């Protein structure tokens, strides 16, 4: 009986070691990892877009891209201050307020610029979202989980680019129900929505809809891959980004 | 010791208990619960998992699917038999179960739950 305490401590040690190993052993015994990424999908560590505004700068051309984007994502058409938009256009002064210059080339001043979510490397919308409904994916896309959005609109206040829209009313009331894209859901009242860089198309190996419709004026690719098409263009052409002083590191670049 | 107002109290209690249990008594005596009859897909015999699994855990599965697809970017699901499916309520589930009213709604109405899936996802019949 003299060894009682010693044996107890030994046994306790073995039991503790067993507890540490057991969960892993149990998990691996299942051997069933049920999910994986689509092997046909496109992958990147940071998706980015370059828009050549020398080729694409009229309101009609941009409206055509917006049309393509809004049609496949079932984005409602609403006029006025309750509008919902994923892709739209605006003037130079509104697009690049920090780079305004009264003596800028006339032609540039008269251009329209395609605007969309910048999918920032340092997205303020993600930081302020209280429910993690908006988040940055490992591939750099700032995505939304509409299931979790509570419509507080902090992200809209946080976004320096106005890239987010709030669904004030039932979005389906402003959609042509016979022309819906049945592959993609609509949103509901009371959630914020925005461009998702066509995450659902990338997942099946397609390029974003606007890039496809732009006929070469938009380039899309991996910013961290020095051989990607995006990096190629960035190397060759001078580009600017929107509101650099906001420090959000936008991933949409404009060739001026 | 004699109970004051004993008779009306006892009678009152009997009436009270009778009324309290009436719904149970009437319900079990007059009606037998019948499981709703679902219209199964015509072309497919097997769901992505077993019938029992789907019956008990489809809500959990859909919840996992949502996170896997949206958050982790993993959109291929391998079931327990090793078969692969694209993770999508609208494009996978509803392609077989192409009648929301005859499949989903039957049980949901029966169980008194109203999930908000179709506030966003488009039901296979399309929207009116």
Q: What are phi and psi of B65, to 5 degrees?
A: -55, -45
Residue in chain A lying closest to B61 (CA): A34
The C-alpha angle with vertex A105 and arms to A101 and A110, in degrees rounded to 5, equals 90
Residue A129 pLDDT grade (very low, low, confident, very high; cuts 50, 70, 90): very high
Which of B77, B90, B119 is nearest residue A35 as measured by Cβ atoms?
B77
* CB atoms inside a 10 Å sphere around CB B13: 10
- A145-202 per-position pLDDT tens digit: 999 999 999 999 999 999 999 999 999 999 999 999 999 999 999 999 999 999 999 9
- Report which secondary-structure segment, H or E, holds A221: strand A218-222
Does A7 have pLDDT greater than 90? Answer: no
Residue A23 pLDDT grade (very low, low, confident, very high; cuts 50, 70, 90): low
Beta bridge partners of A199: none
Cβ contact (<8 Å) for B77 and A37?
A: no
Q: What is the largest CA-CA distance in chain A?
A: 98
Cβ contact (<8 Å) for B74 and A37?
A: yes
| pLDDT confidence of residue B75 | 94
| pLDDT confidence of residue A33 | 61
Nearest to A69, CA basis, from A169, A215, A214: A214
Out of 3.40.50.800, 3.40.50.300, 3.30.70.20, 2.60.120.10, select the CATH number for domain A47-255: 3.30.70.20
Cβ contact (<8 Å) for A32 and B80?
A: yes
Q: What is the pTM of this model?
A: 0.83
Cα–Cα distance measured from residue A88 to residue A235, given in angstroms and rounded to the nearest whole number: 27
Its ipTM equals 0.81
Cα–Cα distance measured from residue B99 to residue B109, given in angstroms and rounded to the nearest whole number: 15
Chain B partners of A37 at a C-beta cutoff of 8 Å? 73-76
Strands A218-222 and A112-116: unpaired
- B19-78 per-position pLDDT tens digit: 999 988 888 777 788 889 988 998 888 999 999 999 999 999 999 999 999 999 999 999
Cβ atoms of A184 and A73 closer than 8 Å: yes
Chain B partners of A39 at a C-beta cutoff of 8 Å? 76
* H-state helical runs in A53-91: 59-72
The C-alpha angle with vertex B56 and arms to B50 and B58, in degrees rounded to 5, equals 75
Nearest to A48, CA basis, from A237, A244, A225: A225
Cα–Cα distance measured from residue A71 to residue A66, given in angstroms and rounded to the nearest whole number: 8
Share of chain A above pLDDT 90, in %: 85
Residue A4 pLDDT grade (very low, low, confident, very high; cuts 50, 70, 90): confident
- Report which secondary-structure segment, H or E, holds A229: helix A229-236
Domain boundaries, chain B: 51-120
Cβ contact (<8 Å) for B73 and A203?
A: yes
Q: Is A158 helix (H, G, I), strand (E, B) or coil?
A: helix
| pLDDT confidence of residue A28 | 47
Chain B partners of A32 at a C-beta cutoff of 8 Å? 78, 80
Cα–Cα distance measured from residue A19 to residue A8, given in angstroms and rounded to the nearest whole number: 16
Domain boundaries, chain A: 1-34, 47-255
Cα–Cα distance measured from residue A112 to residue A115, given in angstroms and rounded to the nearest whole number: 9
* H-state helical runs in A78-220: 92-95, 106-109, 124-128, 154-158, 199-202, 209-213
Which of A38, A186, A188 is nearest residue B122 as measured by Cβ atoms?
A186
* CB atoms inside a 10 Å sphere around CB A82: 13
Cβ atoms of A74 and A186 closer than 8 Å: yes
Chain A partners of B118 at a C-beta cutoff of 8 Å? none
Q: Measured between alpha carbons, how far is residue B58 from residues A66, B47, B93 in Å?
A: 37, 11, 11
Residue in chain A lying closest to B90 (CA): A183
């Amino acid at each position: 009986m003299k060894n009682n305490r010693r044996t107890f401590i030994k046994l306790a040690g073995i039991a503790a070691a067993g507890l540490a190993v057991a969960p892993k052993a149990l998990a691996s015994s299942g051997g069933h990892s049920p999910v994986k990424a689509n092997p046909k999908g496109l992958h990147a560590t940071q998706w980015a877009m370059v828009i050549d505004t020398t080729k694409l700068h009229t309101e009609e051309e941009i409206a055509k891209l917006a049309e393509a984007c809004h049609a496949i994502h079932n984005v409602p058409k609403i006029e006025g201050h309750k509008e919902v938009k994923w892709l739209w256009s605006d003037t130079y002064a509104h697009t690049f307020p920090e780079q305004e210059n009264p003596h800028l080339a006339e032609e540039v001043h008269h251009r329209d610029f395609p605007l969309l979510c910048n999918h920032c490397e340092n997205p303020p919308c993600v930081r302020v979202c209280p429910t993690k409904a908006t988040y940055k994916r490992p591939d750099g896309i700032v995505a939304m989980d509409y299931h979790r959005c509570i419509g507080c609109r902090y992200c809209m206040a946080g976004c320096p680019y106005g890239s987010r829209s709030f669904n004030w009313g039932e979005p389906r009331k402003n959609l042509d129900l016979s022309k819906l894209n049945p592959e993609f859901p609509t949103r509901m009242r009371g959630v914020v929505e925005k461009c998702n860089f066509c995450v659902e198309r990338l997942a099946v190996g397609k390029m974003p809809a606007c890039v496809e419709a732009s006929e070469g004026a938009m380039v899309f690719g991996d910013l961290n891959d020095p051989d990607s098409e995006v990096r190629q263009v960035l190397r060759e052409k001078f580009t600017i980004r929107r509101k650099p002083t906001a420090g959000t590191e936008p991933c949409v670049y404009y060739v001026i | 010791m004699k109970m004051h107002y004993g008779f009306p109290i006892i009678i009152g209690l009997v009436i009270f208990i009778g009324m309290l249990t009436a719904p149970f008594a009437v319900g079990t005596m007059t009606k037998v619960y019948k499981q709703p009859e679902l219209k199964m897909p015509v072309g497919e015999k097997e769901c992505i998992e077993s019938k029992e699994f789907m019956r008990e855990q489809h809500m959990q599965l859909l919840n996992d699917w949502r996170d896997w697809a949206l958050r982790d970017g993993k959109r291929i699901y391998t079931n327990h038999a090793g078969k692969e499916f694209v993770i999508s309520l609208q494009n996978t589930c509803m392609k077989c179960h192409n009648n929301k009213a005859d499949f989903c709604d039957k049980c949901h109405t029966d169980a008194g739950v109203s999930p908000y899936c179709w506030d966003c996802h488009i039901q296979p019949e399309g929207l009116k």
